[in-house]
Amino acid sequence: MSTIDHPAPAHEIRERFGFWKRSYAMLVKEFIQLRRDRVSFAMIVMLPVMQLLLFGYAINTTPHNLPSAVLLQEDSDLARSVLKALENTAYYRFIYEVHDVDEFDNLLKSGKVLFGVEIPRGFERAVRRGDKPALLVAADATDPVAASAALGSLGMIVQTALAHDLYIGNPPEMPFEIRAHARYNPAANSSLNIVPGLVGTILTMTMLIFTALSVTREVERGTMESLLSMPIKPVEVMFGKIIPYVLVGFVQAFLIIGIGVFLFGVPVLGNLFLLALLSTLFITTNLSIGYTISTLVQNQLQAMQMSMMFFLPSILLSGFMFPFAGMPNWAQYVGECLPLTHYLRIVRAIMLKGASMPNLRFDAAALVILMLVAMTIAVTRFRRTLD
Amino acid sequence: MNASNDIAIDVKGLTKSFGGREVVHDLSMQVKRGSIYGFLGPNGSGKTTTIRILCGLLTPDSGEGTCLGYDILRDAEKIKRQVGYMTQRFSLYQDLSVRENLEFVARIYGLADARGAARDMIKRLGLSGREEQLAGELSGGWKQRLALGACTLPSPKLLLLDEPTAGVDPKARRDFWNEIHALAADGLTVLVSTHYMDEAERCHEIAYIAYGHLLTHGTVEEVIAGSALTTYTVTGEDLNGLTAALTGKPGVDMVAPFGTSLHVSGRDVAALEASIAPWRDKSGLHWHKSAPSLEDVFIELMGRSKDNFQ
């Protein structure tokens, strides 16, 4: 091994474009580290694909083939055709036929069935007389989402059942009338709504965690001490750490939308370029928030916990899980402070309604403001010393 | 810049506390340009804290001074450009290769040709052929070399090395010190903390710090002379028994075995000689008066400072 036997050739230091050079140095370093971390790298692709498939296929807010029971107190042709019509909607699947009220109640109470239909004695005769008899449908409404769609379909079902019944013919007056009109998603296909929502949710989760860990990782690995002793400024560290993940986020958004379009048949009615542009804005906003978290916490565990603290309200109050307009006022105010709320409006509007920039001005501006606030906090919170 | 052009570090009254515990107390020191200044002291004595204050990583609670002519409180950013700091724990990126680490440093400091600078440094460090190896996979000695290379890459004027040779084999340590001397010969100022006495003896000047207090400083000869310690070296039989008999006697400040001999030291010569008199002529024991070693001086200082500050 040779010791140093010739002085180092002096390399010139140039001050010009220092900001860009130092940000670039950080960016290259982050990219290399990301590429070396095989597990994280695989997660970039695996996470969105897995979540999308799970949400798209397994989680269905308009569930079908719900277990049901019928309390049949009259065995008439009309009763049979009503049941047949109910089963034809594919919402109900009759697995019990009972003749006793107690048994009927127990099935519902125990959760063995979600719906119970009671056909009263003398049903057919009452209908023929025009007495408008009551057809009781008891629903286990503990899961309102599961029940509501099935309940909503009832009105039409009874109509069609009656209309097609030979004994009745075409009654001049319908027993009752409910008119449902599902705009944008007439088939009540939940993946149409879920896929655009998932673009935002998945991006929030992955982007937050990637940057939330970035500063604490440097501290825990001991590299922060060296980094701080070098002439690099907090803004440069931030840009160097955020930019690589903008690309990562872009790949993820592309994957989710691609799968949504090709596997779930979700349309993209609006401008794809606008969607890409606003998605990049949303990705950067989330990365800034994640980075802010990493300047506030002391270790990686805290970073994960704080990310979850931000992620949960994002899911619950953004309109991803529950309709935004249905939330109380205070929840709506909180929701307006979350980037996901604005992005959900943007992505749903562009993909499903073909909206253009003038429609989305407000939400785009909100994302810019949230991003700038996060970046300001991060830069001021970044500790230049080890104090 | 002023008359102290040949002074690289000039600080006065540095004090720093963490959570109410004073880690550095009223520390003043001067380091000449182009010299190798050794920083010695027990673990937790405030060496690392002092070094961190000097390179702007920590703000002192009180005190003032300059580093390379820049104010340590106001010009931390300017100091960072001209100081290479090698941390105690390996702090380059373990998941980056040798080349990538050096290029990263070169870019941060704004070297015009980052790739070229990294390439030259790899050659200089004798790491050719290992440039694509991950830094985390290097052996301890090579890691130290790489870390030293990374902090000398931007041609700093001052090197701050925090226990650079801890856990490195003797051969690698000697090579490391040859490099430090070569760098100092080129005009670089080096402040190095260490636990090794042989390393202390290779410094132009040393300072001893314990419990945040700078206890003594100067050349090795000055520090030994300033200790006013008298040491007798004893060889012979039953040294263990002798150790037990002498420990705690008036004038005997320290009894320490060195291989097959025993060092008996004290600051009060008369008391020391009175205490050892009964054993002086004992058959089987050979006494002779010797200069205290640097280690004798430091251990005695450490024992004394423990009484004063704890």
Nearest-CA residue of chain B relative to A220? B91
Report the pLDDT value the prediction gives residue B29, as an integer from 0 to 100.
93
> Does residue A133 share a domain with residue A29?
no
Give B164-207 pLDDT, tens digit per residue: 988 888 888 999 999 999 999 988 999 999 988 889 999 999 99
Report the pLDDT value the prediction gives residue B62, as an integer from 0 to 100.
94
Give A106-127 pLDDT, tens digit per residue: 787 777 787 888 888 887 788 7
DSSP type of residue A8: P
Nearest to A11 among B83, B104, B112 (CB): B112
Statement: residue A163 has pLDDT above 70? no
**Dihedral, CA atoms, B100, B105, B109, B114, nearest 10 degrees?**
-30
Nearest to B120 among A9, A13, A14 (CB): A9
> Does residue B188 share a domain with residue B70?
yes
Report the pLDDT value the prediction gives residue B38, as an integer from 0 to 100.
94
Lowest mean pLDDT among A170-179, A354-363, B95-104, B224-233: A170-179
Give A55-81 pLDDT, tens digit per residue: 777 655 566 778 888 888 888 887 887
In a domain, A90, yes or no: yes
> Does residue B73 share a domain with residue B158?
yes
In a domain, A27, yes or no: yes
Statement: residue B238 has pLDDT above 80? yes
> Does residue A131 share a domain with residue A40?
no
If one counts the domains in chain A, the total is: 2
Statement: residue A171 has pLDDT above 60? no
H helices within chain B, ranges in order? Answer: 47-54, 76-82, 98-108, 114-125, 140-152, 170-185, 197-200, 220-226, 239-246, 269-280, 294-309
Last residue of a domain, one of A98, A128, A163: A163
> Does residue B263 share a domain with residue B136?
no
> Does residue B69 share a domain with residue B21?
yes
> Does residue A73 share a domain with residue A49?
no
B110 and A28 in contact by Cβ < 8 A? Answer: no
What is the rounded distance in angstroms from the CA atom of residue A261 to the CA atom of residue A275?
Answer: 14
> Does residue A206 share a domain with residue A255?
yes
In a domain, B296, yes or no: no
Find the domain containing B39 and state its range.
Answer: 3-220
Residue A158 pLDDT class (50, 70, 90 cuts)? low
The residue ranking higher by pLDDT, B306 or B234, is: B234
| Residues in chain A closer than 8 A to B134 (CB atoms) | 36
Residue A191 pLDDT class (50, 70, 90 cuts)? low
CATH classification at residue A157: 3.40.1710.10
In a domain, B303, yes or no: no
Nearest-CA residue of chain A relative to B124? A4
Report the pLDDT value the prediction gives residue A4, as an integer from 0 to 100.
45
Nearest to A13 among B94, B125, B154 (CB): B154
Report the pLDDT value the prediction gives residue B53, as an integer from 0 to 100.
93
The residue ranking higher by pLDDT, A14 or B256, is: B256
Nearest to B175 among A3, A25, A222 (CB): A3
Residue B246 pLDDT class (50, 70, 90 cuts)? confident
Lowest mean pLDDT among A177-181, A190-194, A312-316, B51-55: A177-181
Categorise residue B149: left if φ over 0, alpha if ψ from -120 to 50, beta otherwise.
Answer: alpha
CB within 8 Å of chain B, chain A residues 231-250: 231-232
Residue B240 pLDDT class (50, 70, 90 cuts)? confident
Statement: residue A3 has pLDDT above 60? no
In a domain, A211, yes or no: yes
Report the pLDDT value the prediction gives residue A146, as an integer from 0 to 100.
60
Statement: residue B261 has pLDDT above 70? yes
Nearest-CA residue of chain A relative to B18? A387
Last residue of a domain, one of A125, A148, A163: A163
What is the rounded distance in angstroms from the CA atom of residue A23 to the CA atom of residue A13?
Answer: 16
Give A34-43 pLDDT, tens digit per residue: 888 888 888 8
Nearest to A8 among B58, B112, B120 (CB): B120
If one counts the domains in chain B, the total is: 2
Last residue of a domain, one of B200, B220, B240: B220
Q: Is A99 exposed, middle or buried (0-12, 13-18, 19+ CB in 10 A)?
A: exposed
> Does residue A233 share a domain with residue A158?
no
> Does residue A282 share a domain with residue A152?
no
> Does residue B263 share a domain with residue B209?
no
> Does residue A351 share a domain with residue A255?
yes
Contact A260, A348 (CB under 8 A): no
Mean pLDDT of A243-259: 91
The C-alpha of B199 sits at a distance from chain A's nearest C-alpha, in angstroms, of 17
> Does residue A310 share a domain with residue A248?
yes
CATH classification at residue B125: 3.40.50.300
In a domain, B124, yes or no: yes
Lowest mean pLDDT among A89-93, A250-254, A338-342, B294-298: A89-93
Give B116-127 pLDDT, tens digit per residue: 999 999 998 888
Report the pLDDT value the prediction gives residue B249, as an integer from 0 to 100.
86
DSSP type of residue B2: -
Report the pLDDT value the prediction gives residue A354, as an integer from 0 to 100.
82
> Does residue B141 share a domain with residue B58?
yes
Mean pLDDT of A273-284: 95
**What ipTM is given for this predicted complex?**
0.84
In a domain, B308, yes or no: no
In a domain, A8, yes or no: no
Report the pLDDT value the prediction gives residue B282, as an integer from 0 to 100.
82
Q: Is A279 exposed, middle or buried (0-12, 13-18, 19+ CB in 10 A)?
A: buried
B56 and A24 in contact by Cβ < 8 A? Answer: no
B95 and A10 in contact by Cβ < 8 A? Answer: no
Residue A145 pLDDT class (50, 70, 90 cuts)? low
3-state secondary structure of A331: helix
Closest CA to A145 of A179, A111, A114, A176: A114
What is the rounded distance in angstroms from the CA atom of residue A179 to the CA atom of residue A154?
Answer: 11
B111 and A11 in contact by Cβ < 8 A? Answer: yes
Q: What percent of chain A has pLDDT over 70?
A: 83
- Mean pLDDT of the residues in chain A: 81
> Does residue B278 share a domain with residue B215?
no
Statement: residue A239 has pLDDT above 90? yes
In a domain, B254, yes or no: yes
In a domain, A172, yes or no: no
Residue A181 pLDDT class (50, 70, 90 cuts)? very low
Residue A352 pLDDT class (50, 70, 90 cuts)? confident
Categorise residue B154: left if φ over 0, alpha if ψ from -120 to 50, beta otherwise.
Answer: alpha
> Does residue A338 share a domain with residue A198?
yes
* φ and ψ of B250, to 5 deg: -60, 135
Last residue of a domain, one of A114, A148, A163: A163
A387 and B179 in contact by Cβ < 8 A? Answer: no
In a domain, B279, yes or no: yes
In a domain, B196, yes or no: yes
> Does residue B158 share a domain with residue B260?
no
Find the domain containing A258 and state its range.
Answer: 22-58+189-381
Contact A215, A291 (CB under 8 A): yes
A33 and B95 in contact by Cβ < 8 A? Answer: yes
In a domain, A170, yes or no: no
DSSP type of residue B291: P
> Does residue A333 share a domain with residue A209?
yes
> Does residue A120 share a domain with residue A207?
no
> Does residue B238 share a domain with residue B161?
no
In a domain, A206, yes or no: yes
> Does residue B157 share a domain with residue B62?
yes
SS3 breakdown of chain B: % helix, strand, coil, rounded to 5? 40, 30, 30
> Does residue A224 share a domain with residue A132?
no
Statement: residue A150 has pLDDT above 80? no
> Does residue B175 share a domain with residue B102?
yes
The C-alpha of A243 sits at a distance from chain B's nearest C-alpha, in angstroms, of 16
In a domain, A175, yes or no: no
Report the pLDDT value the prediction gives residue B2, as an integer from 0 to 100.
45
